[in-house]
Structure 1
Amino acid sequence: MQAIFDDGAFAPCPTPFNLAAYVLAHADRLADKVALSVVGLSGAERWSYARLQQAVRGTGTGLLQAGFTPGDKILMRLGNTVDFPIAYLGAIAAGLVPVPTSSQLTAREVGKMIDGLAPAGILHDPAVATATTDLPVITTDALKAMRDLPPVDWALGDPDRLAYLVYTSGTSGNARAVMHAHRAIWARRMMHDGWYELSEDDRLMHAGAFNWTYTLGTGLMDPWSVGATALIPAEGVDPQALPLLMKRHEATIFAAAPGVYRKILSHHESIVLPKLRHGLTAGEKVSDQIRDDWRAAGGGELYEAFGMSECSTFISGSPSHPAKPGALGRPQTGRRVAILGPDGPVGLDEEGVIAIHRDDPGLMLGYLGAEEETQSRMQGDWFLTGDHGRMDADHQITYMARADDMMNAGGYRVSPLEVEAALSDIPGITEIGVTDCEVKKDARLIIAFYTGPEALDEAMLKQAAAERLARYKQPRAFVHIDQMPRNPNGKLLRRALRDHWPAPTA
């Protein structure tokens, strides 16, 4: 039998449709219910559904009054505050196209984005780096002043039209703007049962920052779309304090990257969370050790999901359909997923590339300004993820390996080509190659290996990296080697660079 999962297509997205209107569809009915609590050790900032909807729709009105018109792309350079999701939804409510970006990006990186994106303006927190530009800039103070304006009318339309863009490194080494339609939020309904088992009664805590797309989707948009309460730790809260906050605020579901679970476990031998039903993890592969240790500490089961910027998560385990040992889980009901070889779907239990059908409502519209690269990711009717796996007779998928050299830094996919290009002209470096290395059990960091006449001062190299790259892209160590490992055709073997890195410690 072929390695294909197809239980039928998901229900079509309604039309006309607006992503923000869908997310806040329960706001009138649940006006006084807490939609969001930003929780800290000294208290919580609470937002009711009524207050949240007013802020979002008022922001939409303000952006239109500022001169933006439906369809305009708006670059978001905002910090880890509630300003981020309010501005994001406010722009979409008004028919604008927000482009959320990491606050860690440097001015140089933002400048490159502006050149390729051609946005109509920038939403800017003065504490966040941005490029010098003549574009209109709306500050956080101005955004906050918009919240009390009359509510904007929802900009309804074709669910296939562009709603927002997110950046991903991609295999080319250049950051690509991924175009998503309004229907992308509708596709996330498949996660509600297939991963979260999410309901209106839940209080979901996400450990990530407001301006991380994992938090934006799993931690905010999805809970709000079912009328649940989102719990987000205040900026600066240490991961070791999260169990206390979960207990204090009666979290029923906890979502985080594997590294957060690891940090919590390093400070807590036992975890007592009477209201917690289960944990969610995504962003990078979770190890069996973390999963077992979390369960042994009393945290319960962890359910993993696999996805990407181009299609969010579409393979997952859940309480109703737990993953088998070592497996990611199964495709969510409504998805069409296959394991492909060069000639199409392979057989069950054979390795191939994980692929999702082009008709999936969560799949991107394409890469902005890169139609050729978009098409290169397609094989017939299938979008190639670039990750290898195998499917068994129960449609459980085991992750095998990355098909390329993409690195994973704390849940962010990072292209080695981008990092190498940013650092290759440092004086004294003849050639540079980067990869992620295991520095201790279940922990990987980006490490740079370089050739040159002599070893260079590492502090100087790290300073150069800090000036050119976002923190999560920066190598955490630089290793001088005699020559780069290459295959017979002269191609750099990045994985072989790990042979120059010491074995991980416990």
Structure 2
Amino acid sequence: MNPKRGYTGELPPARFNMARYCLQAAARTTPDKVALIVVSDAGAPVEAAEHWTYAQLDEAVRRTAAGLRRLGLEAGARLMIRMGNTSDYALLFFGAIAAGCVPLPSSAQLTEEEAAFLLADSGARLLAVADELTIRPPPGVQVLGMTDVAALRVGHEPLDYADTAAADPAFLIYTSGTTGQPKGVLHAQRSAWGRRPMYQGWYGIRPDDVILHAGAFNWTYTLGVGLTDPWANGATAVLYNGPRDVTVWPTLMEKYRATLFAAVPGLYRQILKYNDLRAYDLSSLRHGLTAGEALSTALLEQWRTTTGKALYEALGMSECSTYISSAPSEPVKPGSPGKAQPGRCVAALPVEGGEEPLPPGETGLLAVHRSDPGLMLGYWNRPEEEELVYRGEWFLGGDLVHFDADGYMIYHGRNDDVMNAMGYRVSPLEVEHCLSRHPAVAEVAVTELSVREGVSVIAAFVVPRDPDEPDGMDAAPLLTHAHAHLAGYKCPREIIFVDSLPRTANGKVRRRDLARWRR
């Protein structure tokens, strides 16, 4: 390995537990400081919200760890969390990590069919599930309802944080796979330490910050940016679990004196559209953070003009969280998500092969050096997937980019067909597999369609089995079928009927040509 190439930030200690890293120091030095506020009613007084101090969080997490161990869950065992947007979700996630177990956070939006796949594929021995989120676990899986989850914290002494190694497994998340089935991404305990380049390379975070995150507890964007990083820095995290209403966010920023606000670009766009921000006191807000999808120049300028506040973008992936970003310490360059965060080794590699980074201005595959402590341990039981993403000392994320002479990254799209829907990565193969099972479908191909700058939707191009049938070209049954088998964010927004699909000489569907392939 080239001695000048690799991660140059401080490496984690050999013995490291992610939950301990996030909670123990603040619980000892500022035990009475509020660490977490959960708001259910944006219109209610501040004191009506759920408040947790660092001392209370530390004890609740370690009691949860003790409860899991008392159930017989040993170190390294997986448990799946299929719950709603409540503080119990966070306590169970961090409690499992504190015990040395491996939680699998899953989205409440998943259908029972999708959730069952994750449960079976992960080999989870325990399932924590909300009453309204049904699932039929296979034999041998212990099920905890919401009362059982709360009871984990009762009746026994808090467990000390597990003496885990930095490279021990910490949590398992699922993302889109190239085969059409979700694949598990296994992260190490050190992954929390691997987020340290974001502290000043994106957030500009301080212990006195109040960070309002717009995501649900079950999203890894929220678990990382909304909880892990604020707690590791002794800051206050604010999360909202009330009805989804875009008009609540300015109210929450004002009422809870948020200093940082994190969301996907689409939500910033909606906030500007449906709120008169001049009617709110946003003086406490230093700036906004955005990730999950590309930030358009128009939205960036509109937010700046309307609020007088900056927006700092980050680019990342499930396998390494964010590693490219803009920050208060670096001038924002419109059209670019920023530069490599301090300490990270990031490059553009030739698409056709090779390990030598391309010079500025040349487009290639975005790559992160394998020495980065934030990089995943690997894909869960998917060795064939790992072969596709590693090239020597580099991990390839699938994005086509170039770096300019000043180090700013310019995005050129995906080198594969993975789509971005509301900040979630979605494989077209998964959507195609679902729709192909409908009897009215002969062939189907799925892609993203741009509807305006910075906004795209998932569209399905369908060759009907019998277009002359009364329902042969009716989109409604296909959309109903999709929603019955796929999470809402994976479902196509548009069904386009075509006579045939564009194909290469070898018969492979050309998804990039679909937008021009209409009747």
TM-score bracket, shorter-length normalisation: over 0.9
Task: Judge which range, 321-330 or 208-217, deviates more.
Answer: 321-330
CA distance in 1, matches of 2:344, 2:56: 35
CA contact (8 A) 1:6 1:334 kept: no
Would you identify which runs of 4 or more consecutive aligned residues in structure 1 move more than 6 Å?
A: none
Q: TM-score, normalised by structure 1?
A: 0.95
- What SS does the aligned partner of 1:430 have? strand
**Matches of 1:422 and 1:485, distance apart in 2:** 20
Aligned counterpart for 2:124 among listed residues 91, 114, 119 = 119
Deviation at 1:5, TM superposition (A): 9.8
**Structure 1 residue 114 displacement after superposition:** 2.5
In the other structure, the counterpart of 2:406 is 394
Give the counterpart of 2:240 among 233, 239, 242. Answer: 233
Question: Structure 1: which amino acid aligns with 2:250?
Answer: P
Q: Give the drift of 1:132.
A: 3.7
Answer whether contact 2:246 2:274 (CA < 8 A) is retained: no
Shift of 1:264: 0.1
Corresponding residue number in structure 2 for 1:38: 38
Q: Give, in angstroms, the shift of residue 57 of structure 1.
A: 0.9
Distance 1:16 1:445, change over 3 A: same
Q: Say which of 61, 65, 87 aligns to 1:60.
A: 65
- Within 5 A, what are the aligned runs for 1:423-502? 423-452=435-464, 453-454=466-467, 455-500=472-517
Partners of 1:162 and 1:212 lie apart in 2 by 19
Partner residue in 2 for 1:87:
92
Q: 1:188 aligns with which of 191, 195, 205?
A: 195
Aligned partner of 1:50: which letter? A
Does the residue aligned with 1:389 lie in a helix, a strand or coil?
Answer: strand
Tell me how far apart the structure 2 counterparts of residues 482 and 337 of structure 1 sit (CA, whole Å).
44
Q: Deviations over 1:3-56 (max 9, x none)?
A: x99686111101311110001021122211111111222242211112211211
Residue of structure 2 equivalent to 1:18: 17
Contact 1:27/1:53, CA 8 A, preserved across alignment: yes
Residue identity opposite 2:32 in structure 1? D
Question: Quick one: distance in 2 between partners of 1:497 and 1:333?
Answer: 40
Mapped partners of 1:111, 1:300: distance in 2: 43
- Give 3-state SS (helix, strand or coil) of 1:239's partner: coil
SS where residue 285 of structure 2 aligns?
Answer: coil
CA deviation after TM superposition for structure 1 residue 449, in Å: 1.1
Q: Offset at 1:376?
A: 2.0
| Rounded Cα–Cα distance in structure 2 between residues aligned with 1:473 and 1:92 | 29
Per the TM alignment, residue 500 of structure 1 is displaced from its structure 2 partner at its CA by 4.9
Please name the residue that 1:108 is paired with.
Answer: 113
TM-score, structure 2 normalization? 0.93
Alignment equivalent of 1:262, drawn from 258, 266, 269: 269
Give CA deviations for 1:299-328 in whole Å, capped at 9, x if unaligned: 511100010000000010001013322111
State the SS of the aligned residue for 1:61. Answer: helix
Structure 1 distance, partners of 2:80, 2:251, is 36
AA partner of residue 422 (structure 1): C
Paired with 2:4 and 2:499, the residues of 1 have a C-alpha distance of 48
Moved more, 480-489 or 268-277: 268-277
CA–CA distance in structure 2, aligned partners of residues 362 and 58 of structure 1? 28
Letter matched to residue 32 of structure 1: D
| Counterpart-to-counterpart distance in 2, 1:95 and 1:140 | 22
Residues 118-267 of structure 1: matches in 2 within 5 Å?
118-134=123-139, 135-148=141-154, 149-267=156-274
Query: For the aligned residues, what is the CA RMSD?
Result: 1.7
CA distance in 2: counterparts of 1:439 and 1:5, whole angstroms: 44
Q: In the TM superposition, what is the alpha-carbon distance from 1:172 to its structure 2 partner?
A: 2.7
- In structure 2, relative to structure 1, the CA distance for the partners of 1:194 and 1:501 (3 Å cut) is farther
Q: How many angstroms apart in 1 are the aligned matches of 2:494 and 2:18?
A: 42
Distance 1:130 1:436 in 2: 31
Relative to 1, partners in 2 of residues 1:381 and 1:422: Cα closer, same or farther, differing over 3 Å? same
Letter in 1 for 2:28: D
- Supply the distance in 1 between the matched residues of 2:326 and 2:247 (Cα, whole angstroms): 26
Among residues 389, 392, 395, which one is paired with 1:380 in the alignment?
392
Shift of 1:501: 6.9
What is the DSSP-based 3-state SS (H/G/I as helix, E as strand, rest coil) of the residue aligned with 2:27? coil
Q: 2:104 aligns with which of 99, 102, 106?
A: 99
Q: Give the equivalent residue in structure 2 for 1:69.
A: 74
**Residues 296 and 258 from structure 1, CA distance in 2 versus in 1: closer, same or farther, beyond 3 angstroms?**
same
Paired residue secondary structure (1:431): strand
Aligned-pair distance for 1:171? 2.6
Map 1:255-334 → 2, pairs under 5 A: 255-271=262-278, 272-334=281-343
1:185-220 Cα distance to aligned partner (Å, 9 max, x none): 001111001000111100000011111110110011
Instruction: Indicate the percent of aligned positions where both proteins have the same amino acid.
Output: 44
Distance (whole Å) between structure 2 residues aligned to residue 41 and residue 170 of structure 1: 41
Q: How far has the Cα of 1:412 moved from its partner?
A: 0.1
Task: Tell me if the contact between 1:279 and 1:302 (Cα under 8 Å) persists in the aligned partners.
Answer: yes
One-letter code aligned to 1:86: L
Match of 1:297, as an amino acid? T
Change (3 A) 1:419 1:5: farther
Q: Structure 2: which amino acid aligns with 1:42?
A: A
Tell me how far apart the structure 1 counterparts of residues 251 and 308 of structure 2 sit (CA, whole Å).
Answer: 12
Letter in 2 for 1:371: P
Q: Any residues of structure 2 matched to 1:333-412 within 5 Å, and which?
A: 333-341=342-350, 342-343=353-354, 344-412=356-424
Count how many residue pairs are aligned between Structure 1 and Structure 2.
Answer: 499
Against the structure 1 CA distance between its residues 166 and 82, is the aligned structure 2 distance closer, same or farther, given a 3 Å change threshold?
Answer: same
Structure 1 contact 77–129 (Cα < 8 Å) conserved: no
The change in CA–CA distance for 1:129 and 1:395 in structure 2 (over 3 A counts) is farther
Deviations 1:161-202 (A, max 9, x none): 111110010333220000100000001111001000111100
Partners of 2:6 and 2:142 lie apart in 1 by 48
